[in-house]
């Protein structure tokens, strides 16, 4: 959320490359917070500190991953993560080009991704009661339908302000999906396979973050950035 705000400011000055100093500063803050939170403790110590029994496993790491790879549900959730994170990152990375080229937005178009990622942060907190009320399995379909409707609005409504608002709401409804999925994984996987299973799922999410923006760019180079939202 912060990086697009900072980057937009630096993009309008001659020494725009100094923005990476700010990013490095943010990373250092994150590093200090991680050290303060976990104090270089292992998984067993962290579990014990919050009142959970430490993970028990008599099998080797290789054996645990073999069991993970034999579970069909893990691969289905990995596919979901691949598409979900790919969509999220594609919108966040290409929306500025979309708005500038098709909506004739100015330099302030760079702030729009902050709305998306701010929405992700807000949605993961604000929609917790709604997700619990509807049920985590059913509410995913509600969020997907909401995102589809908002995607269509951004694609068809030729207004920078309206598009920016819709993108922020896309972030709000996309936000809860990944935590719901990882929570679901924790509920259905055997305790000794949770870290391996969620790690496999999350790694496919990272793969989607790499593949989808690349595919979007490849298609856009031939058809134009207007293909972003249909894709």
37: containing domain: 1-54
The predicted-structure confidence for 169-217, as pLDDT tens digits, reads as follows 999 999 999 999 988 888 888 877 888 888 899 999 999 999 999 999 9
- Residue 82 shares a structural domain with residue 44: no
Q: For residue 186, what pLDDT is reported?
A: 84
- Residue 147 shares a structural domain with residue 214: yes
- Residue 221 shares a structural domain with residue 201: yes
Boundary residue ending a domain (9, 27, 54): 54
Neighbours of 24 (CB within 10 A): 10
- Residue 50 shares a structural domain with residue 86: no
Per the structure, the count of domains in the chain is 2
- Residue 62 shares a structural domain with residue 133: yes
Are the C-beta atoms of residues 136 and 183 closer than 8 Å to each other? yes
Residue 157 is given by DSSP the state -
Q: For residue 133, what pLDDT is reported?
A: 94
- Residue 97 shares a structural domain with residue 43: no
pTM for the model stands at 0.84
- Residue 137 shares a structural domain with residue 177: yes
- Residue 186 shares a structural domain with residue 213: yes
- CATH number of the domain at 76, please: 1.20.1250.20
Q: For residue 187, what pLDDT is reported?
A: 85
Q: For residue 190, what pLDDT is reported?
A: 83
Q: Which residues of the chain have pLDDT under 50?
A: none
- Residue 157 shares a structural domain with residue 206: yes
Boundary residue ending a domain (34, 54, 74): 54
Q: For residue 41, what pLDDT is reported?
A: 87
- Residue 100 shares a structural domain with residue 199: yes
- Residue 148 shares a structural domain with residue 75: yes
- Residue 91 shares a structural domain with residue 167: yes
CA–CA distance, 46 with 108 (Å, rounded to integer): 43
CA–CA distance, 66 with 144 (Å, rounded to integer): 32
DSSP letter string, 126-145: HTHHHHHHH-HHHHHHHHHH
Q: For residue 55, what pLDDT is reported?
A: 65
């Amino acid at each position: 959320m912060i990086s697009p705000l900072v980057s937009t400011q630096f993009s309008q000055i001659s020494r725009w490359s100094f923005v990476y100093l700010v990013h490095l500063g943010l990373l250092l803050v994150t590093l200090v917070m991680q050290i303060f939170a976990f104090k270089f403790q292992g998984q067993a110590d962290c579990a014990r500190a919050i009142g959970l029994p430490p993970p028990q496993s008599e099998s080797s790491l290789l054996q645990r991953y073999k069991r993970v790879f034999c579970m069909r549900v893990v691969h289905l959730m990995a596919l979901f993560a691949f598409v979900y994170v790919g969509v999220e990152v594609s919108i966040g990375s290409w929306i500025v080009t979309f708005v500038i080229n098709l909506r004739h937005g100015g330099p302030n178009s760079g702030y729009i991704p902050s709305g998306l990622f701010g929405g992700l942060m807000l949605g993961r907190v604000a929609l917790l009661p709604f997700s619990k009320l509807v049920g985590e399995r059913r509410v995913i379909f509600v969020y997907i339908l909401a995102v589809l409707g908002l995607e269509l609005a951004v694609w068809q409504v030729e207004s920078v302000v309206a598009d920016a608002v819709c993108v922020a709401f896309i972030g709000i409804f996309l936000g809860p999906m990944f935590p719901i999925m990882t929570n679901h994984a924790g509920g259905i996987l055997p305790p000794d396979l949770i870290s391996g299973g969620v790690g496999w799922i999350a790694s496919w999410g990272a793969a989607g973050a790499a593949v989808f923006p690349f595919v979007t760019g490849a298609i856009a180079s031939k058809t134009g950035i207007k293909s972003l939202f249909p894709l």
